[in-house]
A = this chain, B = another copy of it.
């Protein structure tokens, strides 16, 4: 029973605008490393599944850039979505694609645009997940991140009893998934030992396809037609046109009966805001992080991303200053999660 890897690369790049943009979203950019996020994601996974068993789901508009970034991945493994429909259609498409090659295969799903500090622990976690799937072939397994602070920007997973243990790792039953909480609730979640939902999943393809059929029957029907047509572009378009935009969490994970979680701590960072970028990169002695050329005079804890021109900062603290190709952004780090919504307003 082989492990297949799916890397979801459909991000629109709005949260790290103006450096990340729709035509060059953040998965194609390097943050705090010399590799792009997608290249680093694939490199972490290649030792677990050779290039033939790595498949990428991405937007049709950026698929050529993704293919160029990953020349070792077979072109036929790069699945282009005509438009984004959240994670459920994306995962259904990938599962059907893998099932056509390996009907009882295992599938591990990861976002393309997260950073992970400890590759070794990450790989051991995924290998442990594959081991668990042998014992629990009907379970949907998620990898839950040990929280470091009461973050309000992530969903949480409430684990219950231990189902399996192996070395330092355990598999626990999932009691419930919780949406993004407010501050007080997030503190309670942490006190109760809940985990962050990082959008990382492992399952057998037959299991996920069965659970999609059970919980999202309309999506499943469209998927059957798509599989039968052997992946013609017009059929893919039709599948996406008819798919509701819904997350796999909401559509399947929260409803499925057999769901488990592997708690993990491998230095995960979702690179989901400029503030998160500031946590990824090495800091100067005053806590400033820089890409490109910047000068600081009496400045603390800023995140500066210089483009072509140097950025000169005098007496500023906790700000994001980023120059992209089409604009310059200035905002407090604590407001950096507002970038994508403000961008939508500006664009009307």
Binding site for B on A (CB under 8 A): 18, 295, 297, 306, 309-316, 319, 321, 323, 326-332, 335, 338-339, 342-343, 345-346
A–B Cβ pairs within 8 angstroms, 25 of them: A295-B342, A297-B338, A306-B328, A309-B326, A309-B327, A310-B326, A310-B327, A311-B327, A311-B328, A311-B329, A312-B327, A312-B329, A312-B330, A313-B329, A313-B331, A314-B329, A314-B331, A314-B335, A314-B338, A315-B332, A315-B335, A316-B319, A316-B331, A321-B328, A321-B330
Q: Is the CB of B309 within 8 A of A330?
A: no
Q: Is the CB of B338 within 8 A of A316?
A: no
Residues of B within 8 A of A329 (CB): 311-314
Residues of B within 8 A of A346 (CB): 295, 312
Q: Is the CB of A330 within 8 A of B313?
A: yes
When chains A and B are docked, how far (Å) is the Cα of A313 from the Cα of B321? Answer: 10
Residues of B within 8 A of A327 (CB): 309-312
When chains A and B are docked, how far (Å) is the Cα of A327 from the Cα of B321? Answer: 13
Chain B nearest CB from A234 CB (Å) reads 39
Of A311, A312, A316, A331, chain B has the most CB atoms within 10 Å of the CB of A312
Residues of B within 8 A of A313 (CB): 329-331
Q: Determine the residue in chain B with the shortest Cβ distance to A334.
A: B315
Closest 8 CB pairs of A and B: A314-B331, A315-B335, A297-B342, A311-B328, A310-B327, A312-B329, A313-B330, A295-B346
Q: Determine the residue in chain B with the shortest Cβ distance to A342.
A: B297
Q: Is the CB of A310 within 8 A of B328?
A: yes
Chain B nearest CB from A288 CB (Å) reads 12
